[in-house]
């Protein structure tokens, strides 16, 4: 999102507008949890709420014209503090140097976490009071990325909140948050967009035309998230439907077709696709609805009737182990070929 675009419009995706109106009809609590499924725009919702809280207009908020609104749009408002892990900063519509004091030699794994230093820096700045003499907003995304020390540090501040200080905490995994933090917050759920809404939005915003059938299949595959579907189509991520087309040949599968995907995609992505397909096979084997590939349910039914449910579950368990080890595979082609051989044996 360009800086110019942000200045002229809100951060919100259109399917979030009604939820935002509903929330802002009432006073905003000082500690608010925004939660919902992944990739439906919760971060953008939180940014718009920060925009709303910091806007200095006496009429409609956010007005997008006052100094405060312009500063928020540029990520330059002195009373807005956005805390994210290093590896998610690219999701913000502006640059931020908050908490960037780690050395280049620091373990790259730390980039996935929110560290205690990031929380301490923000708390220390807020002890000095508001720069504009009004509200201050701390947005943390995603909250489950906080290391234990960071979570405990935040808890102390939540226990004694300042009247003008607002915490916007965003998560896709409410169950992973410390009960002591949850107990000090109010909650607001963000629903995923209706299928028709998401489908129409994709038709209007995809960079290349895609059939309704493909859109329906992709929305099922990505749990109804138009953002994930757009990323998959526009940015040429692994075409999981191509992999599944080969997997649906069962014992006649040609391993080389899937192994070729390693030339452009990671082993993790391919294994994750096989895992989704295997989960669907297991669901159908027990007479349940498929989750990711409903358009292939009839194909799955014709094969799972003859498959040992125990063997299928053992395969899924083995697949989970392979996924855990897939970040640093020594021989990805050999590992994938071995897995596909085990898959074909299920149907022999």
pLDDT tens, residue by residue, 157-198: 888 778 899 999 999 999 999 999 999 999 999 999 999 999
Rounded Cα distance between 261 and 268, Å, is: 11
d(CA 325, CA 101): 31
pLDDT tens string 102-137 = 444 445 555 889 999 999 999 888 877 788 878 999
φ, ψ dihedrals at 245, nearest 5° = -60, -40
> Which pLDDT value is given to residue 282?
96
- In order, the DSSP letters of 217-275 are HHHHHTTT-HHHHHHHHHTT---HHHHHHHHTTGGG--HHHHHGGGGTS-HHHHHHHHH
pLDDT of residue 303: 92
**Average pLDDT rounded to a whole number, residues 125-152:** 89
CB atoms within 10 A of CB 105: 6
Residue 3 has pLDDT above 90, yes or no: no
> Of the ranges 18-22, 35-39, 102-106, 136-140, which one carries the lowest mean pLDDT score?
102-106
| Mean pLDDT calculated for residue range 311-330 | 88
Q: Say if CB 241 and CB 54 are below 8 A apart.
A: no
d(CA 281, CA 319): 14
Query: What dihedral do alpha carbons 65, 68, 74, 78 form, nearest 10°?
Result: 170
Residue 97: pLDDT over 80: no
**Residue 124: in which H helix or E strand, if any?**
helix 116-126
Strand order in the sheet with 186-189: 80-83, 136-140, 165-171, 31-35, 186-189
| Helix, strand, coil in percent for the chain, rounding step 5 | 55, 10, 35
- pLDDT of the residue at 110: 56
Give the list of residues 6+ apart from residue 193 with CB closer than 8 angstroms, or none: 15, 40, 201, 224, 226
Write the DSSP symbol of residue 289: P
Q: Is the pLDDT of residue 321 over 60?
A: yes
Partners of 189 in the β-ladder: 35
Residue 35: is its pLDDT beyond 80?
Answer: yes
How much is the pLDDT for 5? Answer: 34
Calpha distance 52→137 (Å, rounded): 10
Q: Do residues 82 and 51 touch, judged by C-beta distance below 8 A?
A: no
* Residue showing tokens 């649906």: 248
Q: Is the pLDDT of residue 229 over 60?
A: yes
Dihedral (C-alpha) 230, 232, 236, 240: value to the nearest 10 degrees? -150
More confident residue, 155 or 162: 155
Q: What is the mean pLDDT of the chain?
A: 88
Closest CA to 31 of 193, 151, 181, 132: 181
pLDDT on residue 94: 79
249-255 long-range contacts, CB within 8 A, separation 24+: 250/303, 250/344, 250/346, 250/347, 251/344, 251/347, 251/348, 253/340, 253/343, 253/344, 255/336, 255/337, 255/340, 255/341, 255/344
The highest-confidence range among 100-104, 241-245, 252-256, by mean pLDDT, is 252-256
pLDDT for position 103: 43
Beta bridge partners of 31: 167
Q: How many CA atoms lie within 13 A of 35 on its CB side?
A: 16
């Amino acid at each position: 999102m360009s800086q110019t675009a942000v200045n002229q419009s809100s951060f919100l995706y259109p399917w979030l507008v009604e939820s935002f109106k509903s929330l802002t009809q009432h006073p905003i609590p000082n500690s608010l949890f925004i939660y919902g499924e992944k990739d439906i725009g919760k971060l953008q919702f939180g940014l718009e709420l920060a925009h709303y809280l910091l806007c200095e207009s006496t009429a409609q908020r956010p007005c997008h014209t006052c100094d405060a609104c312009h500063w928020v749009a540029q990520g330059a408002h002195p009373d807005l503090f956005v805390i994210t892990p290093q590896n998610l900063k690219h999701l913000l519509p502006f640059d931020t140097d908050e908490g960037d004091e780690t050395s280049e030699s620091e373990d790259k794994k730390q980039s996935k976490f929110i560290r205690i230093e990031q929380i301490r820096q923000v708390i220390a700045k807020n002890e000095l009071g508001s720069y504009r003499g009004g509200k201050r907003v701390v947005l943390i995304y995603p909250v489950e990325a906080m290391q234990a020390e960071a979570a405990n540090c935040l808890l102390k501040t939540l226990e004694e909140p300042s009247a003008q200080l607002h915490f916007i905490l965003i998560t896709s995994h409410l169950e992973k948050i410390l009960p002591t933090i949850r107990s000090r917050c109010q909650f607001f759920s963000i629903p995923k967009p209706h299928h028709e809404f998401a489908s129409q939005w994709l038709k209007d915003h995809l960079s290349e035309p895609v059939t309704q059938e493909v859109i329906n299949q992709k929305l099922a595959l990505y749990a109804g998230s138009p953002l994930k579907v757009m990323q998959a189509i526009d940015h040429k991520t692994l075409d999981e439907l191509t992999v599944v087309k080969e997997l649906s040949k069962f014992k006649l599968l040609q391993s080389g077709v899937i192994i070729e995907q390693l030339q452009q995609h990671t082993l993790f992505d391919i294994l994750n696709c096989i895992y989704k397909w295997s989960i669907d096979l297991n669901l159908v084997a027990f007479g349940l609805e498929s989750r990711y590939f409903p358009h292939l349910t009839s194909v799955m039914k014709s094969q799972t009737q003859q498959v040992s449910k125990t063997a299928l579950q053992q395969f899924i368990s083995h697949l989970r182990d392979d996924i855990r080890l897939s970040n640093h595979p020594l021989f990805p082609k050999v590992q994938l070929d071995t897995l596909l051989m085990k898959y074909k044996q299920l149907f022999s």
